[in-house]
Structure 1
Amino acid sequence: MSAKESLARLLDDVDATPEATALRARSYDLLALPDGAAVVDVGCGAGRAVGELAARGARAIGVDVSAEMIALARSRSPESDLRIGDARALPLADGEVAGYRADKVFHELPDPAEPLEEARRVLAPGGRIVLLGQDWDGFIVDSADPALTRAIVHARADAVTNPWAARRFRNLLLDTGFTDVTVEAHTGVLTGGVVQPMLTRLAAGARAAGAISPEQEAAWTAEQRERARTGRAFLALPMFVAAARRP
């Protein structure tokens, strides 16, 4: 299994949780799309949101920089409009869409101002933009070793291109000229089997960054694996949802 396929499987598990399902629905509501309006889901991954937006009556377009993810999305939904493209240079005409959505994308981009200028370009006047993302310093994990947990969370955040992008959504949108900007915070609480692979990746990232030793990684991961096995795992993840209108 490739790294992209492994990530897609993990995202599938997370996206199937009630919290994630409700959060996606909230993002669709904030788009306030007229029936039949065009909307782009940037960083669409395996295409779940594209399908859900289409089911709501939108003309949904999925764009992802990864050809592998687009191929996976097409295998799951051959009828969907799925395109390879960069958030900073979308394969869309000026003013082509009434809605723009990006979920867990901006932390991967070194300069969020660039994709927001591109979002403004492809949105028609009055179009709506919705951004979703987690703050990478905000992972809350129950552990017997809080100091090591703090080191793991912060080290993983430091390895992210733009770990604080979500806390900057409001000001970034204002700086780009969007209006009617709102921000909501939604905290997902995960306690089931999906937690353990997420925390394994978190610890591996901290070890890869040199912030913890392999022995610390192994001990912490073993504790979290046991917590997951006994139903005692706990991960809370604050998500920010920003919405605005293109003048």
Structure 2
Amino acid sequence: MTSVSKNQEAVGEHRDTEALLAVLDTADRMPSAARLRARSYELLSQVAGSTVVDVGCGAGRAVAELAGRGVRAVGVDPSPWMLAAARKRWPQAEFSEAGAEDLPFADGSVAGYRADKVFHVLEEPGRAVAEARRVLCPGGRIVLVGQDWDAIMIDSDDAALTRTIVHARADLLGTPRAGRQYRSLLLAGGFDDVTVEVHTSVFTDPAMLSLVAGLAGPACASGAVGRDRADEWLAEQRRRAEAGRFLIAVPFFVAAASA
């Protein structure tokens, strides 16, 4: 790869990261998202001073919030662009570049493991569960949070087209139904006391139009939906937003267990 190609790739990744951060920031500011994060911290059941790893930490909001609760929180993420944003936002926090399948911790060295909206992008989530089991100390807690991409609900005049777009986007992910699989994954990984909750977040803010665009674009690019039909669908969603009739409901699975 030439230096020009490398620079172009870097610029593209930077733009992708900025776009993703904008969507994540909008979603994270929603009251339902704050409640979901708080619930995940409760399920970690950590005492002050214990070490917790936040896997796929993104821009680091959860790392900062966990540190505010008195634990030693370490954020890991495979994206150097995301980590750069996290370090800029939270300069006092601790971050490390790593993937979910290869964490930079010794065996049994952490008391808590959290992964939020991570497992659906993994091709082999079982490997990540095994790695979590390795780094957790006996009795350590794991909490997994994530949406089921096949179950996203969007109000639309064309229900059939909406289903096609949602499912086509889901099929492009590594493990789009990871949320409903959390319990089986944790049991297969040797965890005990597995619990599962489902919290549905409802979005009506027009700022979340970026989410439907993020569904339609890839579905169109995959060939599942024609460009004209995708544009018509997006136009309908924009009209709904302008009229105060926009709605997306996303079920989030929250699974917790002990090592």
By the TM > 0.5 criterion, same fold?
yes
TM-score where L is the length of structure 1: 0.98
Question: Helix, strand or coil for the counterpart of 2:62?
Answer: helix
Moved over 4 A (4+): none
* Deviation of the 1:194 alpha carbon: 2.8
Matches within 5 A, 1:13-162: 13-162=26-175
2:7 — aligned with what?
none
Q: Separation in 2 of the partners of 1:2 and 1:245?
A: 39
The code of the aligned residue for 2:251 comes to: P
Tell me the equivalent position of 1:5: 18
Cα distance in 2 for partners of 1:193, 1:91 equals 40
RMSD, aligned CA: 0.8
- Corresponding residue pairs, total: 246
- Between the aligned residues of both structures, percent identity stands at 55
| Counterpart residue type for residue 150 of structure 2 | D
- Equivalent of 2:240 in 224, 227, 239: 227
Q: Find the aligned partners of 1:94 and 1:5 in 2 and give their Cα distance.
A: 35
Counterparts of 2:41 and 2:92 in 1: how far apart (Å)? 20
Q: Deviations over 1:204-223 (max 9, x none)?
A: 11101111001011100111
User: Offset at 1:94?
Assistant: 1.3
Question: Is contact 1:195-1:234 (8 Å) kept?
Answer: no
Q: Distance in 1 between matches of 2:244 and 2:70?
A: 39
Please, which runs of 5 or more residues in structure 2 have no aligned partner? 1-13
Question: Which structure: greater helix fraction?
Answer: 2
After superposition, give the CA deviation of every residue in 1:22-70 in whole Å (9 maximum; x if it has no partner).
0000000000001111000000000000000001111000000001100
Shift of 1:193: 2.0
Which amino acid in the other structure matches residue 244 of structure 2?
Answer: G
Structure 1 stretches lacking a partner, 5+ long: none
CA-CA distance at 1:225 after TM superposition: 1.1
TM-score, normalisation: structure 2: 0.94
The equivalent of 2:228 in structure 1 is 215
State how far apart, in whole Å, the 1-side matches of 2:198 and 2:254 are: 6
User: SS of the residue aligned with 2:140?
Assistant: strand
The alignment status of 1:164 with 2:169, answered yes or no, reads no
Cα distance in 2 for partners of 1:200, 1:24 equals 25
Cα shift at 1:195: 2.2
2:197 corresponds in structure 1 to: 184
Which secondary structure does the structure 1 equivalent of 2:149 belong to?
coil
